[in-house]
Amino acid sequence: MSEVRLEVKNLCKSFGITKAVKNVSFNINKGEVHALIGENGSGKSTLTNMLTGIYSIDSGIFVLDGEEIHPKNQVDANNHGVSIIVQELGTLSGLTVAENIFLGHEERFVKCGIKNTKQMIKEANELLHSYGFDRIKAQRMIDDYNFEDRKLVEIVKATYFDPKIVVIDETTTALSQEGRNELYKVMDKIREKGNTIIFISHDLQEILDRSDTITILRDGVYIDTVKSKDVSEEDLKRLMVGREVTGDYYRSDYGSKVSDEVVLSVKDVSVPGLLNKLDFELHKGEILGFGGLSESGMHEVGKAIFGASYDRTGSVKLSDGTEINDIPTAIQHSIAYTSKDRDNESVVLNQSIMDNICLPSLDELADKRHMLSDKKLRDFADKFAKDMSVKMVNVDQFVSDLSGGNKQKVVLARWIGKDSDIVVLDSPTRGIDIKVKQDIYQLMDRMRKAGKSIIMISEELMELIGMCDRIIIMKDGMINGQIERSESLDENNLITMMV
């Protein structure tokens, strides 16, 4: 089974002055799950985007089954037998499920210029059935389904025609455990048929569990290809970062007492359809975790505290009795929030790093006459961006040019600059590589020791277990259980409460 499927030969790609992929060559075999790993900006996605025709190639070639291919776009790549499931949402709103699945391949159903919609729906339903996704109906609009189900439709779309190579780019971070299991099943099926999967993920444990071979990239350069069974997570980290990863990943203390001082109390909070009579208290210096399935309402908890929920009832009160009902009040009283939807709700993409960092602190930065000085803003932004070691040219650079991890650092820099006492982090490490993850965990630990209180909402159970003093598990908009920090805790303790 070690016949070569794809040869990557001397591949190069630059964006302006940045060389994203530098002379990369390696082989991918038939019938294997081949993982690509590397930190943010190491060139994984650039490489697969060239393979699937999303980017053009600067120099170098792809040889698929002995034949050189130059895909011009995704449909062309499909015709060569290469498909991709992307990180973000890849289905189109306003179309039915069936239309999404057969997008770009409608000609199969066209006779004399007329599309046979009935036939299309029938075939789509048969496909969905064969994948076991019977709850998704091909004739319904894609908008009727949630993020998770739309991802499943994408999986069908990318794999139904038995492609020779399927690229799965960071798809699992967006899925809950259930969704992941569905994806793993599809992956197994593809491999059994002798086809190849290129698997990109930041979750190294998942990589080790699910892949046969692993290729490591660092700063656009090919480092090594290893067999999964021969390496450990530590080995991979070392290969990715290029040095020994020192220090603790998560925090290492257990049994330390959390202060009794309550800084925030949430009483009877409901949001129609999302949260149902929520009651909890947050203590000073505590990291309180929220876990659950992605539809459990846990993401709404952050918004509710921050005053960003539409139609919220009940009360969110600070220790001094101040009620938090809207975002400006929340920020004024030192509450910070980072959203799961980083690009829309956390950063203003088409604005500079400087403006993004200064935005909530403009009142403090202004002088007595409400005037702002450029120099003061620049120094402020520069200081906190550097504190967070944001990779940038300067603070005038637009946030839209930064990688996911760096965007998150900008968001954190803004709230650290604001010196917030209560920090609500929704999926703070989503789609972020281990180096930055470690930075964020260490930052959280420092903040906790400095007496700040943190609410951490996450779908990654391991990071909740690793970081939190207390974990609340949500189910159907209600609190379903609560667990204190302990060394003996493992994922299964939490999963039983989630489902």
Partner 1 sequence: MVAVSKTEMTAAKEKKTGNLSMISAVKTYLPIVGLIIVFLVFNVLTNFRMVKNMPLVLSQVYVTMIATTGVFFIMTMGGLDFSQGSILGIASIVVCMVSRINIPLSILCGILTGALIGAFNGYFYVYRKIKSFIVTICTMFLFRGFIKYLTTNAPVAGSAALINFDRTELKVALTLLVLVTGFVLFRFTKFGTYLKAIGAGEKAAMFSGIRTDKMKFWVYVLSGAITGFAAFINVIKVGSVTSSGGSQLETQILIALVLGGMPISGGAKVRFENIIVGSLLYIVLNSGLTMMGFSTQMMQLIQGIVFLVFVAVFADRKSLQVIK
Which residues contact partner 1 by CB under 8 A?
A: 15-16, 18, 49, 53-56, 72-78, 90, 92, 103-104, 306, 308, 326-328, 330-332, 337, 339, 344-352, 355, 358-360, 362-363, 366, 370-373, 398, 414
* Nearest residue (CB) to partner 1, 362 versus 450: 362
* Nearest residue (CB) to partner 1, 72 versus 267: 72
* Nearest residue (CB) to partner 1, 108 versus 277: 108
* Nearest residue (CB) to partner 1, 141 versus 327: 327
- Kindly state the smallest distance separating residue 485's Cβ from partner 1, in Å: 30
| Rounded CA separation 336/428 (Å) | 13
* Nearest residue (CB) to partner 1, 56 versus 130: 56
* Nearest residue (CB) to partner 1, 310 versus 488: 310
Q: Which two tokens stand for residue 93?
A: 């709103």
- Kindly state the smallest distance separating residue 370's Cβ from partner 1, in Å: 5
- Kindly state the smallest distance separating residue 68's Cβ from partner 1, in Å: 20
Tokens 């999404």: give the residue.
100
Residues 16-44 as b or e (16 or more Cβ within 10 Å = b):
eeebbbbebebbbebbbbbbbbbbbbbbb
Residues 171-189 as b or e (16 or more Cβ within 10 Å = b):
bbbbbbeebbebbeebbee
- Kindly state the smallest distance separating residue 32's Cβ from partner 1, in Å: 26
Closest CA to 25 of 220, 237, 164: 220
* Nearest residue (CB) to partner 1, 37 versus 330: 330
SS3 21: strand
Closest CA to 184 of 155, 213, 226: 155
- Kindly state the smallest distance separating residue 495's Cβ from partner 1, in Å: 31
- Kindly state the smallest distance separating residue 326's Cβ from partner 1, in Å: 8
* Nearest residue (CB) to partner 1, 4 versus 362: 362
- Kindly state the smallest distance separating residue 86's Cβ from partner 1, in Å: 9
- Kindly state the smallest distance separating residue 234's Cβ from partner 1, in Å: 36
- Kindly state the smallest distance separating residue 206's Cβ from partner 1, in Å: 26
- Kindly state the smallest distance separating residue 137's Cβ from partner 1, in Å: 21
| Rounded CA separation 188/399 (Å) | 38
Q: In what order do the strands lie in the sheet with 470-475?
A: 335-338, 422-426, 453-457, 287-292, 470-475, 478-484
CB 31 within 8 A of CB 38: no
Strand partners, 317: 265, 323
Rg, C-alpha atoms of the chain: 24
- Kindly state the smallest distance separating residue 119's Cβ from partner 1, in Å: 20
SS3 262: strand
| Rounded CA separation 170/208 (Å) | 15
* Nearest residue (CB) to partner 1, 86 versus 282: 86
* Nearest residue (CB) to partner 1, 364 versus 490: 364
| Rounded CA separation 40/342 (Å) | 16
| Rounded CA separation 120/296 (Å) | 34
Alpha carbon separation from 172 to 109, 179, 182, 376, 391 (Å, rounded): 32, 8, 10, 42, 26
| Rounded CA separation 403/497 (Å) | 35
DSSP string, 389-416: T---S-TTSBGGGS-HHHHHHHHHHHHH
* Nearest residue (CB) to partner 1, 111 versus 369: 369
